[in-house]
A and B are shown apart, each in its own frame.
Chain A
């Protein structure tokens, strides 16, 4: 007949074993390491997971100095301070801190979070028991998010500075407020569409043909008969997309207001070429343009942008002229090899 006491004992042991097993499985799954530190002797124990973060073999005797030897020099003072506070019988006996560990075995630096509580006997700290978790990935994600936020901040500020510049530079000579507002509206909508285009392309270079199509679509609707594009794709890097888009926008609006597209059955011919890293964009409104003054167009923001700003921005040069044969705008600029 089995001994009742033994049976109860072995049942308790089984329950205890189960619990230990469950705890260790949970720690394993959560990648949480456990440590204990006896302040009176200076001896510490940690499990394999903590030893792995520090890059220290598990047969080595661990002391507080071992722990500190792996802490990033800039974080040692913080670690010492927080440990001293946790061990202080007058404190709350809790420690919770983030710090960097430089593994002894040459593995890359890790960010860890330690959470521990201290037990006291007779007003003396006897045991600091806690967990250590590798939070490097989380930390990287946070840093990456911060980068994105900064970049967004930068872009918003920059966009507003650009908008303010457009507002100032396009102040009309004739003080016609209604026309001014309409033009500003068109320009800002064009910028907004460009922004979407750049965003959709996730920072990749954009074919000038897409820019031309976008600008025509936004200003005149789906009227493909108004223009033709011949020649190779020119892939414009994102920093230059905005200014090139603005230039094309100005060409289109000018053509619609005073140029070929203000007359029936006329169109625009756009030609591109790319040779030895030099790109050419040619805009032609061929044929008689009525009473538009001959020579280089002057005055408004559009001609200023087309003749001065674009070329300086893309480090190229422009020619812009109205002749008896029509209106011609040529932009020549260095272009790196096409990247799709």
Chain B
């Protein structure tokens, strides 16, 4: 049996993060996290070899996940932003080609999007 694709989930709102995680687990993914801050997610990237990452943009304390996103681009690791209202507009244009999904998300669309990243 091939190992399940490992998905890193980062969202400072843990209720939402765990709900994304549940959707992923029910659809054949292994979830790393969910992480509530960029530094623990960076640790995960360094040590747990995720295959895909799902990132919230705004980290609630005024910071963003852009530094982690840069790291993922560097590592050539597929990822998407799942973000709250207004955040996709403030993110740096260097991420213009990255998929951005707005919360709240529809389960089916979310899973389809993650599958496309895994393919």
Q: Do A and B come from one complex?
A: yes
B67 located at the interface, meaning its Cβ lies under 8 Å from any Cβ of chain A in the complex: no
Which residue of A is nearest B21, CB measured?
A: A169
The number of chain A residues touching the other chain, given as a range, is 20 to 34
Residue of B13, B22, B36 near A168 (CB, 8 A) is B22
Query: Are A162 and B15 neighbours in the complex by a CB distance under 8 Å?
Result: yes
Q: Which residues does chain A contribute within 8 Å of B3, judged by CB atoms?
A: none
Q: Which of A154, A168, A169, A304 has the most CB of B within 10 A?
A: A168
Set of chain B residues within 8 Å of A166, measured between Cβ atoms: 15, 19
Per-residue CB proximity of B1-29 to A under 8 Å, as 1/0? 00000000000011111110011000000
Given known A150-B86, A154-B85, A168-B23, contact A161–B16 (CB-CB < 8 A): yes
- Is B15 within 8 A of A243, CB to CB? yes
Partner of A169 from the list B19, B85, B102 (CB cut-off 8 Å) is: B19
Q: Does A199 contact B (CB under 8 A)?
A: no
Interface status of A160 (Cβ within 8 A of chain B): yes
A158 at the interface (CB under 8 A from B): yes
A165 close to B19 (CB less than 8 A): yes
CB proximity to B under 8 Å, residues A158-179: 158, 160-162, 164-166, 168-169
- Looking at chain A's contact residues, is the secondary structure mostly helix, strand, loop, or mixed? helix
* Interface-centre pick from A164, A246, A312, A313 (highest chain B CB count, 10 A): A312
Bound: A190/B11 CA distance, A: 23
A339 within 8 A of B: no
A210 contacts chain B at the CB level, 8 A cutoff: no
Cross-chain contact B86 with A153 (CB below 8 angstroms): yes
Q: Which residues of A contact B18 (CB under 8 A)?
A: 165, 169, 304, 308-309
Residue numbers in B under 8 Å from A243 (CB-CB): 14-15
| Distance in Å: Cβ of B38 to nearest Cβ of chain A | 13
Residue A192 interfacial (CB < 8 Å): no
Q: How far is the CB of A203 from chain B (nearest CB, A)?
A: 15
Enumerate chain B residues within 8 angstroms of A161, measured Cβ to Cβ: 13, 16, 84, 103-105
**Residue interface bits A237-258, CB-to-B below 8 A is 1, else 0:** 0010001001000000000000
B15, B36, B103: the one within 8 Å of A315 (CB): B36
Interface residues of A in 278-317 (CB under 8 A from B): 304-305, 308-309, 312-313, 315
Determine whether the beta carbon of A313 is less than 8 Å from that of B19.
no
Contact B15–A153 (Cβ < 8 Å): no
Residue of A nearest to B103 (CB): A161
Interface centre among B14, B15, B60, B84 (most CB of A within 10 A): B15
Interface assignment of B63: CB less than 8 Å from any CB of chain A: no
Contact of A168 with B86 in the complex, beta carbons under 8 Å: no
Cβ of A157 under 8 Å from chain B? yes
A315 — which chain B residues lie within 8 A by C-beta? 36
Structural contact, B15 and A309, CB atoms closer than 8 A: yes
Interface residues of B in 20-62 (CB under 8 A from A): 22-23, 34, 36, 60
> Could you jot down 9 A-B contacts, CB within 8 Å?
A150-B85, A154-B86, A158-B84, A158-B103, A166-B19, A243-B15, A308-B18, A312-B17, A313-B36
Sample of 15 further A-B pairs with CB below 8 A, known A168-B23, A169-B22: A150-B86, A153-B85, A154-B84, A157-B104, A160-B104, A161-B16, A161-B105, A162-B16, A243-B14, A308-B18, A312-B17, A313-B14, A313-B15, A313-B36, A315-B36
Instruction: Report which A residues bind B (CB closer than 8 A).
Output: 150, 153-154, 156-158, 160-162, 164-166, 168-169, 239, 243, 246, 304-305, 308-309, 312-313, 315
